[in-house]
Amino acid sequence: MTSTIAHNLVHIDGSFGEGGGQILRNAVALSALLSKPISIPNVRHNRKPPGLRKQHEAGIILAAAICSAETEGVHLSSTSVTFKPGKIELPKILTADPGTAGSTTLLLQVSLPCLLFSSSPTPPSQLTLRGGTNAIQAPQIDYTQHVFLPFMKRHFGLDIALNIIRRGYFPKGGGAVFCSVPSLTKALPPVTLTERGPVQLIRGEARVGGLPFIIAERMRNAACAILLAAGVSSAIIRIDAVRETQEEAFGSGGGILVFAETGNGCVIGGSSVSTKSRDPEEIGKEAAEELLRNLRHDGCVDEHLQDQIIIFIALAKGHSTIKTGPLTDHTITAIKIAEQMTGATFHLQQNPSGFVIISCDGIGYTPSPHKIDKI
C-alpha cells in the first residue's frame, strides 16, 4: 500500500548510532504502536551496501500488515522509508518470507511489539516466519528460544510460544518458525534486575544440519574446553551435540549456543554460527568466550539481550533498573530511538569495574481509541 506522505512526520536519522537495521525495526514497531508516522532517511547508512536488504523490506511489510500502514520507499536498496500506521486489530495470522537467508529472529523483533497490546481480550496472534534460523549478524533462533523468551515470560508474564518447523542455516536459509503471541490489555510491568546470583548451570547445544555429526561434537568439545580452562566446574556443564535430519533442516550449516542459568533466574548467553571458512573449534571457542565475557561483568543480561529489552522497558509502566555489562552500539541506538519515539526517560550509571546500570521511567503504554497524528 502506498501513499504520498509528507508533513508532520517524526524524522529519524538512519545513520546515527549503529546505523543499521535495528533503527528500522525499533522505529517501525513504535510507530505502529503509538500511531506516529515516521520518516527515515539514510537507511542503513553505516552498512555496505547501504539501504534496505530483502529481510528489512520483509520486516517493514510485516509490520505494515499488522497495523494497515501506508508506506513509501519499501523496496530493495531504498535509502529512505516513510511509514504511516493505521489501526492495529488483533489477532493476526501472518506469514513473512524475505526469500533469502534473512533472519527469522529479526522479523520477530519488528513484529512482536506490535502484537503485544489489545484494547480488549483476543486470542493469540499467529506468525509464520521464513528465512534463516541460524544466521550471521543476528540472534540465532536458539538464543531467542532459550534466553530472550524466558526473559519475556519471567519479567513481563508473556508466554510466547515458539516452534521451529525447519532450520535454515547460513548461507541458504530456507527455515521456518511458528510463533503464537498473546496480547495484553494492560501495561507491561517495570523490571528490577540488579543481582545476578551465582551461576548454577551452563547448558547449550552445538547443532549441525547437512554436515557430519563430528562437527557438532568438535564445536561442543571446544566450548567445554574453554569453560573448563576458565575454572568452570565440569559438574555444571551440560552442552549437547545434535545433528538434524534432512526433514529438520534445509541446506547445510551449524551453530552453537551456550547459556548460564543463575540463582536469581538470569540467563546469560554466548553463541556463534558455523561458516565454511572457520574450523568447528573456532566456533565453539567463540561462543564460550562470549559467555565468559558477559559473566565477568556480573551483569544480569548479556550484550545481546541488553538492546532487545530497551523497547519493552520504555513501554512499561514505572521505573525499571537493569544491571548489565558495557553498553553496545545497538543498545545506545535503541535508547535514542525509544526516547525520541516514546518520551521515556533513560539514565545510565557507568561503574569503573565495567558494569552499567540502565534505568528507565517507562510511559505505561496501553492501547487507546485509535488516533493517528495528522499529516
Annotated binding site: 109, 304-308
Q: Residue 241 pairs with which residues in a beta bridge?
A: 206
Q: Residue by residue, what is the 3-state secondary structure of 53-75?
A: CHHHHHHHHHHHHHHCCEEECCC
* Residues 104/145, Cβ–Cβ less than 8 Å: no
Closest listed residue to residue 201, CA positions, set 296, 140, 266, 273 = 266
d(CA 55, CA 133) in angstroms, rounded, equals: 13
Rounded CA-CA distance 154/264 in Å is: 11
Q: Which three cell numbers stand for residue 240?
A: 549437547
List the grid coordinates of 254. 551449524
Catalytic residue among 11, 75, 330, 347: 330
Find out whether 33 and 113 touch, Cβ atoms under 8 Å: yes
| Residues 200/261, Cβ–Cβ less than 8 Å | yes
| 330 catalytically annotated | yes
Beta strand residue intervals within 299-355, DSSP E: 317-324, 345-350
Chain-centroid distance, C-alpha 236: 27
Which residues participate in the annotated binding site for ATP?
109, 304-308
Contacts of 247 (CB under 8 A, 6+ apart): 166
Residues 144, 162: Cα–Cα separation, whole Å: 9
CA atoms within 13 Å, Cβ hemisphere of 299: 29
Q: Would you give the distance in Å from CA 356 to the centre of its chain?
A: 20
With H, G, I as helix, E, B as strand and everything else as coil, classify residue 38.
strand
**Where in the sequence numbering do the catalytic residues fall?**
330
